[in-house]
A and B are shown apart, each in its own frame.
Chain A
Amino acid sequence: MSASMDAAITARPLDEDKNAQDKKKASARSAKVRNGFEITVLSAPAIIVFVFFVIVPIILGAYYGLYKWKGFGSPSTTGTFVGLQNYITALKDPTFQSAIGHTFLVLIGSLILQGPLSILFALLLNQKFKGRALIRTLIFVPYVVSEVIVGTGWSLLLQKAGAINALLEKMHLAGIDWIANPKYAIWTLLVIITWKYIGFAVILMLAGMQSIPEELYEAAKVDGAGFWQMQKDITLPLLAPTIRIWAFLSMIGSLQLFDLVYIIWGQYVADTAGVSTMATYMVREGRIAGNYGYGSAVALIMFIISLIVALTYQHFVLNRDLDGALTDAKSEKKRKKKLMKEQQMAKEAIAIADSEVK
């Protein structure tokens, strides 16, 4: 039972014949009542807005998924109830299967490409030098610019008769079909994604680096460690929580990837080029094709896949840091123990560092 439930029950007027001992409890209880009230006031507005505009539409979307429905009228009158048939058709469709495959390629590719690169770039920008703030802002530019603009720009650059090939031609090199050729398309996509989102990763990593106490480096220097040695022994381990959160956000982002592929490749060529994602499949077979019921079913499959990935990741990796948002309380104890140990170690490390600096 929750604390607030306790509070609600005990909020009833106390019986006359309770003994004096209760008085203490009563004050504790009134604190609980107040707590419950405060929680309500603090969380109610957000919950109301969220349920109204996110949860209910999602539930209705899931309901549409049970119908073969063209989107006009209501599903129960103009649609045909097909139960789980939409879900089965989707999972059996080889186009969807390959879209799932591409999505996971993107997921893994982004982690492998962006992770090390962003750490290296962050190390670079973590050096103290004039103009650092400006450079930090500029590498964030691709992240600020909308996907639609980015997509338009890159398609003009990368088309077979586009700017990059024209430039190559001027240098007497043969151009490549960057977008349509299945051999290169997925790499093109990964490069564009890296370009677009690396700024965000770099800023995260930079932020993580700010939080590493300089004392540790000073101490290591005294011990005669080189630059790379220090990064390996100090930066990387202490950056781990940052890396883990970034990886989580990156994974969720990859699973929902839509705009860039849709704008640069279009709904048809994405398939042939081997870069279609779950979301482009959903939009093409759902909204564009007018199969609203089917599209909703695909969206729910996407949601479940995302959830499984998130749960797995949180269970094995993230719950070292986060309050195991989606996992149960069992791991809590283990986690706390581990945290205590980590804290202890960190304290010791700082103590050592401090003493050595002095």
Chain B
Amino acid sequence: MSAATLSVSGRRSRKNNSPRNLKKEGYRVSQKTPWGNPIVYFFSLLLVAICVSPVLYIIFGGFRTNSQITNDPAGWPNPWNAQNYISVVTSSTFWIEMVNSIIVAICTVVGVVVLAVMVSFAISRYHFKMSKAMYSLFSAGLMFPMTVAITPLYLMVRNLGLANSLGGIILPQIAFGLPQAIIILVPFLQSIPLELEEACMLDGCSRLGFFWRMALPLAMPGVATVGILTFVSSWNSYMLPLFVLNTENNYTLPLGVQMFSSQHSADTAQVLAFTSLAMLPALICFTIFQKKIVGGLTGAVKG
């Protein structure tokens, strides 16, 4: 592996017992994070402002009426109009769709993580010639847009009896989520030092035992990364549910936006309110796993 890899694993072992060691070695005097330089704050906040303000515009837009948006595009809600949000929150369809979206997202995440970890382990820790071919096959999947495959894909889903069911979305989403997951996980698993595996073998564990006891826990941050990325893409997925789902009780949130755009017009303010509320779970999910994602990507990157 590259220099970075090596140093990472070196660092990780140190990290595991970090606070004490670091203190002893005098790296960090205090465990408290210090307040930063004002310049650092200035630029960080500027960056945050740039990133967040368009999203805030969407959220505030939900408090306005269509007419307000047309007449004064840059204005504040005047008067504030909570009706859009209230009507979303009080509609039962919103909550049904929320539950469906959560079911689909969680099942997809579990499916992608389990299958990708298994196959990545095979690719990265077993020596067989086809491993490369397998890796290529999966990474090629990243380069084909789902838009075109949708018609044959729908037929497949329907012939398996999964049309108009959440399963009909989950399975294809798992399949389309695999390439990215494998590309992230393979280098991650590869970077686990061989010495660890040998040590485990000496202790009498099998390859699979090593997988279960050592590789999996060590790859946890990578798994978290894959999980959160899969969650976000499942949460926002529109095309597949559109083609597979036929009854409103099965709709997911992205399809729910339809309710506000009729044949000839769209209720912009309602759409803004709806989407603002719909993005919350994905943001919460990200906030919770934020720390792990940084750890996880570290692994992915070491290559």
Is there a chain B Cβ closer than 8 Å to A241's Cβ?
Answer: yes
Residue of A at shortest CB range from B299? A207
Chain B residues with Cβ under 8 A from A152's Cβ?
Answer: 58, 268, 271-272, 275
The complex places the Cα of A128 from the Cα of B34 at a distance, in Å, of: 7
Q: For the complex formed, measure the closest distance between the CB of B236 and the CB atoms of chain A, giving whole angstroms.
A: 3
The complex places the Cα of A240 from the Cα of B303 at a distance, in Å, of: 11
Known: A156-B268, A296-B148. A241 touches B302 (CB 8 A): yes
CB-CB contacts of B260-276 with A at 8 A, as 1s and 0s?
00000000100110010
Interface residues on B, range: 35 or more
Q: Is the CB of A154 within 8 A of B129?
A: no
Is there a chain B Cβ closer than 8 Å to A22's Cβ?
Answer: no
Chain B residues with Cβ under 8 A from A349's Cβ?
Answer: 3
Q: Is the CB of A121 within 8 A of B47?
A: yes
Is there a chain B Cβ closer than 8 Å to A20's Cβ?
Answer: no
CB-CB contacts of A101-143 with B at 8 A, as 1s and 0s?
0000000000000000000010011011111110111111111
Chain A residues with Cβ under 8 A from B128's Cβ?
Answer: 2-4, 35-36, 39
Chain A residues with Cβ under 8 A from B35's Cβ?
Answer: 129-130
Chain A residues with Cβ under 8 A from B73's Cβ?
Answer: 156-157, 159, 161-163, 165-166
Q: Is the CB of A255 within 8 A of B33?
A: no
Is there a chain A Cβ closer than 8 Å to B21's Cβ?
Answer: no
For the residues of A in contact with B, the DSSP-based class is helix
Within 8 A of B (CB), among A302-334: 302-303, 306-307, 310, 320-326, 329
Q: For the complex formed, measure the closest distance between the CB of B53 and the CB atoms of chain A, giving whole angstroms.
A: 9
Known: A56-B156, A307-B140. A203 touches B302 (CB 8 A): no
Chain A residues with Cβ under 8 A from B279's Cβ?
Answer: 144-146, 149
Residue of A at shortest CB range from B253? A146
Is there a chain A Cβ closer than 8 Å to B89's Cβ?
Answer: no
Is there a chain A Cβ closer than 8 Å to B186's Cβ?
Answer: yes
Is there a chain B Cβ closer than 8 Å to A211's Cβ?
Answer: yes
Q: For the complex formed, measure the closest distance between the CB of A39 and the CB atoms of chain B, giving whole angstroms.
A: 5
The complex places the Cα of A112 from the Cα of B10 at a distance, in Å, of: 32
Chain A residues with Cβ under 8 A from B57's Cβ?
Answer: 153, 156-157, 163
Chain B residues with Cβ under 8 A from A252's Cβ?
Answer: 142-143
Is there a chain B Cβ closer than 8 Å to A88's Cβ?
Answer: no
Name the residue among B35, B44, B55, B208 with the largest chain A CB count within 10 angstroms: B44
Is there a chain A Cβ closer than 8 Å to B103's Cβ?
Answer: no
Known: A153-B57, A208-B301, A307-B143. A343 touches B36 (CB 8 A): no
Within 8 A of B (CB), among A187-227: 195, 198-199, 203-204, 206-208, 210-214
The complex places the Cα of A191 from the Cα of B73 at a distance, in Å, of: 21
Within 8 A of B (CB), among A335-358: 339, 342-343, 345-347, 349-350, 357
The complex places the Cα of A308 from the Cα of B128 at a distance, in Å, of: 26
Chain A residues with Cβ under 8 A from B208's Cβ?
Answer: 38
Q: For the complex formed, measure the closest distance between the CB of A53 and the CB atoms of chain B, giving whole angstroms.
A: 4
Q: For the complex formed, measure the closest distance between the CB of B123 and the CB atoms of chain A, giving whole angstroms.
A: 8
Chain B residues with Cβ under 8 A from A303's Cβ?
Answer: 143-144
The complex places the Cα of A68 from the Cα of B176 at a distance, in Å, of: 28
Known: A213-B7, A282-B148. A153 touches B293 (CB 8 A): no
Q: Is the CB of B287 within 8 A of A154?
A: no
Q: Determine, out of B80-88, B92-100, B114-122, the stretch whose residues face the partner at the interface.
A: B114-122
Q: Is the CB of A339 within 8 A of B2?
A: yes
Q: Is the CB of A241 within 8 A of B36?
A: no
CB-CB contacts of A65-91 with B at 8 A, as 1s and 0s?
000000100000000000000000000
Is there a chain B Cβ closer than 8 Å to A266's Cβ?
Answer: no
Question: Looking at the complex, which one of B111, B115, B187, B290 makes contact with A137 (CB distance below 8 Å)?
Answer: B290
16 residue pairs from A and B, CB less than 8 Å apart: A1-B129, A38-B207, A53-B175, A127-B37, A129-B33, A129-B40, A129-B41, A144-B286, A153-B54, A208-B301, A286-B148, A299-B144, A302-B143, A303-B143, A320-B2, A326-B140
